[in-house]
A and B are shown apart, each in its own frame.
Chain A
């Protein structure tokens, strides 16, 4: 139990995928304008990351390692992730149409979200067990969600601020992102799992 908590907290705060590892920056900037779509997007990412971790672990262990094809990891994992994203898209389109519309192009772009591929590859690199891999995938998704919620909360506030003309829009967002990332350095080395 203690271990599980450590993994989740460690991934969210110490080794945050977006703010410390700098993975998945594209949706971090692209979908963080509104809290609603940020929540939807990160929900989809949590789902994809958790299941991608599980499926890629199985694919790696029982197909790639068995036949000595570890060098195909990247392409095999991308295949898994792409299929999962398609699946999520189908489900969203059917059940939550407004969310599907507001996510727009960013939903299929989860396929190329390097955080998802990153978590799949890190699972293998750290030689996690199956349970650990799924947990790590889930908490990686949570860390993405955490970063996105933080950022979109600030960006919604920024909309009403009187920002200097040359900093309006993306520049001030990038400055904000840099400050959040800097402040996350404070968690560095607090605990490891």
Chain B
């Protein structure tokens, strides 16, 4: 009994050892010279492999940075710290960037919207969206089944009362939720932007009111109230230009449906 166990271990062990030695010799013989800078850059990057920079992963981004093909500001996960570190490694000047966060442009909670039908299928937004644009009375709003929550690797999204909201201190701006949302209601905004038009409904007036109690009815009151020309109603929907917005809250005060609000955590 013991002998057969020992022969098995010895046989497999020796085969493994032989291959191991052969491979380590081969790796020396066929070694590829890589730029030591790539390793250095890779060491600075957070290693989240989220792809927010536009490259397949941190390794590929590090390669591009080391070659000088990519900007050092693309890593959203690392934020300013990584930019500063990269600027040291690459000997270029660090730029100041504003941190971006994701924001869900919908407040159509259960009490604000109604269900058109009882959905009992697969519990993903993509699936319910395939059925007549979802079960909510507003066909633009959050479906609340959490495709974004599943896509988020940082626990930065929660669902409450059928609407997703972002926990901003956890958000690293990897944009995975933006891609995951079948309704395209998650957008990236600068973290300094507090005033939000929390609606994506491009319908007008009564049609919006019927669908949701906090929808944008495109009344243009906000556009008139804004002193900085920062909010524009376009295609039935108010949109804020955050380069001009000063968070003065004039538009919040005049919005009749309370669609425009201050984003608080």
Query: Contact residues of A with B, CB < 8 Å?
Result: 59, 63-64, 67-69, 72, 75-76, 79-80, 83, 86-87, 90-91, 93-94, 97, 104, 166
Contact = CB atoms under 8 A, between A and B. Distances in A.
A64 B14 CA distance: 12
16 contacts: A64-B11, A68-B7, A69-B11, A72-B11, A79-B12, A79-B16, A79-B19, A80-B15, A80-B19, A87-B22, A87-B26, A90-B23, A90-B26, A90-B30, A97-B32, A166-B130
Given A75-B12, A76-B11, A83-B20, 19 more contacts: A64-B11, A67-B11, A69-B8, A69-B11, A72-B11, A76-B15, A80-B15, A83-B19, A83-B23, A87-B23, A90-B26, A90-B27, A90-B30, A93-B30, A93-B32, A94-B30, A97-B32, A104-B56, A166-B130
B4 interface: yes
Interface of B: 4, 7-8, 11-12, 15-16, 19-20, 22-23, 26-27, 30-32, 56, 130
A143 to B, nearest CB: 27
A59 B32 contact: no
A86 B23 contact: yes
A68 B4 contact: yes
Contacts of B19: 79-80, 83
The main secondary structure of chain B at its interface with chain A is helix
B4 A72 contact: no
Given A72-B12, A79-B12, A90-B27, A67 B7 contact: yes
Contacts of B11: 63-64, 67, 69, 72, 76
A104 B11 CA distance: 33
**Which of A59, A67, A90 lies at the interface centre, i.e. has the most chain B CB atoms within 10 A of its CB?**
A90
A93 B32 CA distance: 7
A83 B166 CA distance: 46
A91 B23 contact: no
Given A68-B4, A83-B23, A63 B15 contact: yes
